[in-house]
Amino acid sequence: MNESLIREFIQYLRLERSLSDNTLAAYEHDVRMLADYLTHAGFGGSILKAGPEELRSFVAHLHALGMSAYSQARILSGLKAFFKYLFNEDLIALNPTRQVDSPKLGRKLPTVLSYDEIQRIIDSVDLSLPNGQRNKAIIEMLYGCGLRVSELTSVTMSNIFRDEGFIRIIGKGNKERLVPVGDGTLKQLYLFIEGYRVHIKPSKTAVDHVFINERGKILSRQMIFLMIKKTAEMAGIRKPISPHTFRHSFATHLLEGGADLRAVQQMLGHASITTTEIYTHLDREYLRETILNFHPINRS
């Protein structure tokens, strides 16, 4: 019974909510963890019979495993989506997650690079290597457009409007948005497209994709992560960096420069402006640090 419920739930998410494969895998993992716990902890094993007490016991189990509050909250979020689905399908009479509180989370601010640090990373790209210009274009696009790495790997030639200075992005939930691209970023992008990519024969699944590897296949997120980590190390950057760090830096630097919050929300593709507001908090933190470090009264 549990197996068929999980399959139907994932199918619903795929067809009705158009979630990415990675998100679907995370939801499936969360529900399977609960199903395994109910089986081995003496609760009978049936997800349909799980109540608030069983779920609280499961959350306590996650804590005992040493999971952080963030990991616990993420898993519970997946379970809430699952039980909401069961309730809407009339498979359960009450949604037990309504009576289960999420772990208390402190506000975790994302890592942001200074413009100087970003420039050092870009300057550390070895352009003598065959993939050098491609790697430089990737970093320029991540920072210059604020893209998610999954959005970057999905950029196609037909969605670049070079003369207009825009690219069409397919974001979360298959939502489209137009993102402006600066002249400098476009220049680096086309140095790669016209000087290197044109000589690679793309595979059937990557005919229109911009960022491909030497075998003509679409670049994986893992390859981009490793490239960025290596390049950052060469630049002497010691902060924990991922492709998403450039997206955080893009938003923070725009707001520090006086950009409108809703404009930044639109460029990032955030469904809610409250998600974008974290960058105003980062801006306030920057201002506070500036006062503490440079105001004369704080130097005594």
**Enzyme catalytic residues:** 148, 172, 244, 247, 270, 279
In the chain, which ranges are E strands?
A: 160-161, 166-170, 176-180
Query: Tokens 């037909």 map to which residue?
Result: 158
Element (H, E) at 249: helix 243-256
CB 111 within 8 A of CB 240: yes
Tell me the CA distances in angstroms from 96 to 70, 77, 293, one per residue in order. 21, 13, 50
Structure tokens, 182? 């600066």
Q: Is the dihedral of CA 258, 263, 269, 274 positive or negative?
A: positive
The angle that helices 132-145 and 115-123 make with each other, rounded to 10 degrees, is 160
Distance CA 167, CA 156 (A): 9
